[in-house]
Amino acid sequence: MFSLSYKNRIAFNYILSTALLIAFAFIVIYRVIHFSVDEHINEGIDEELQKHLDDVAIDSNDTYLIQVDQWRAREHNTISVNPVFVQFYDDHKRLIDKSPNLKQSNLLLLDASKDDEYVDAFLNGIPIRQIQTPIITNKKTIGYLVVAMSVDDFEIIYILKNILLITFPIILILLFLIARFFAGRSIQPVVNITETSSKITKDNLNTRIDLPANKDELYVLSKTINDLLDRMEEAVEREKQFTSDASHELRTPLAVIKGTLEVLIRKPREKQEYEEKIAFCVSEVNRLNNLVDELLLLARFENQKQNNKVENVFLNALILDSLSRYSDKISKQKLDISTQFEDEYYVQTDYYLISIIIGNLLSNSIKYSKPNGKIQIELNKENSQTIVTINDNGLGIPSEDLSKIFNSFYRASNSKDPNIKGTGLGLSIVKRLCDILHITIEISSEENVGTTLKLRIP
């Protein structure tokens, strides 16, 4: 089966529906005219029949008295102007008289089953319609009257029929060509979309489709594709940046370890110096190991689908457990941790994922808090959501960095102190997990004042 182009399919479907409509209109026109002409001829025959029945009289001896002069007055002598043919038969079906325009021809008298019915026939090759009616006196048939009229008017019907049959395909062909032309113009934006899309590759994502002037469905389609390309370009750029940052972060500790070991083997050194350098390399290996773990964790959650293990999680205990893991850091910085739990709070969510979110946020608050700083943790209910609020009075985040803190490897400009270790992946992981668990995360911060983080857990 052959396939049509989209433009031809539009034209074909249009023509198919139009053909049905035109065919219906033509049939209605033909039937109406056919009925009108048919009724006109029948009425003319009936009128002539009645006139000639009035011309026939019967005397007391059942003798026919036909008023021939009135026939001649009605112009039955010519065959050229709407001729009417009249013929009389007796009760034995013998010819009594006929109209002069019949000349040597005769109208056929049919059997009694055709009485008072219109019958189409031919007279010397001319199409006629005739009707025969019995002449009845005293409930006795004493003769027959046959009236016929030329049906030349039906030639109009045949001509009309031929015209309709000829013009029907011509109209459809012309309409198909016109519809195909306008369909081609209508789908030109689709052609432009196809041509533009074929030029777009992963290395050329900045090309966009020109939006049509009319804000119709094609405008919406073009805008949707452009929005999709924007998201794809942004995702590709993020992937490139992630790959670049990851390779840089991985190379840095490896280069440090390599440089330290190369310096160490250049000449013999004291035991203490060996121990210091080895301890330094171990710390860098631990940092590298931590970075790899976070990269694997982020990659895992980037591809994770919505098939989490939902269970009843006791948030109060989860937060206290997370704080206990950082007790050494809290003690070292002499931080004041206050928890405000007015009630016992349970949520239906994935325990493992929510523990990573809480742990990373608490770790950040502790990491960026100043010595002797204060961290407040609150739990409360708001409508159908459980709100977790973590507030600190640490370094804070510059306003220009707030929109970027969830990007992988991004670290605020004031957090690059060499004494503050970090990879910039923690909040990226938090954001991804919040999306998976349908948790809304809100952050507000002011540099050198502090940061407030809110989790809205459904």
Instruction: Work out whether strand 95-98 and strand 84-90 pair parallel, antiparallel, or are unpaired.
Output: antiparallel
Under a CB-based contact definition with an 8 Å cutoff, are residues 117 and 111 in contact?
A: no
Q: How confident is the model at residue 75 (pLDDT cuts 50, 70, 90)?
A: very low
Is pTM, for the whole model, over 0.75?
Answer: no
Q: Which residues contact 390 (CB under 8 A, 6 or more apart)?
A: 361, 362, 365, 375, 376, 377, 452, 453, 454
The residues pairing with 87 across neighbouring beta strands, listed in sequence order, are 98, 146
The string of pLDDT tens digits covering residues 420-431 is: 555 566 777 778
Q: CA-to-CA distance for 357 and 433, rounded, in angstroms?
A: 7
Q: What is the model's pLDDT at position 81? A: 46
Q: Which residues contact 128 (CB under 8 A, 6 or more apart)?
A: 85, 120, 121, 122, 148, 149, 150, 151
**Mean pLDDT across 314-332:** 83
For the cut 80, the answer to whether the pLDDT of residue 71 exceeds it is no
Q: CA-to-CA distance for 176 and 169, rounded, in angstroms?
A: 10
Q: CA-to-CA distance for 88 and 93, rounded, in angstroms?
A: 9
**Mean pLDDT across 323-338:** 82
Tokens of 257: 């370890």
The string of pLDDT tens digits covering residues 4-42 is: 676 677 777 888 888 888 888 888 888 888 888 888 888
The string of pLDDT tens digits covering residues 148-188 is: 887 776 777 778 888 888 888 888 888 888 887 877 777 77
Q: What separation in angstroms does the CA of 230 have from each of 164, 218, 233, 432? A: 57, 18, 5, 20
Q: What is the model's pLDDT at position 414? A: 47
Instruction: Work out whether strand 374-382 and strand 385-392 pair parallel, antiparallel, or are unpaired.
Output: antiparallel
Q: Which amino acid does the sequence have at 186?
A: S
Q: How confident is the model at residue 1 (pLDDT cuts 50, 70, 90)?
A: very low
Q: DSSP string of 360-409?
A: HHHHHHHHTSPTT-EEEEEEEEETTEEEEEEEE-SS---GGGGGGTTSTT
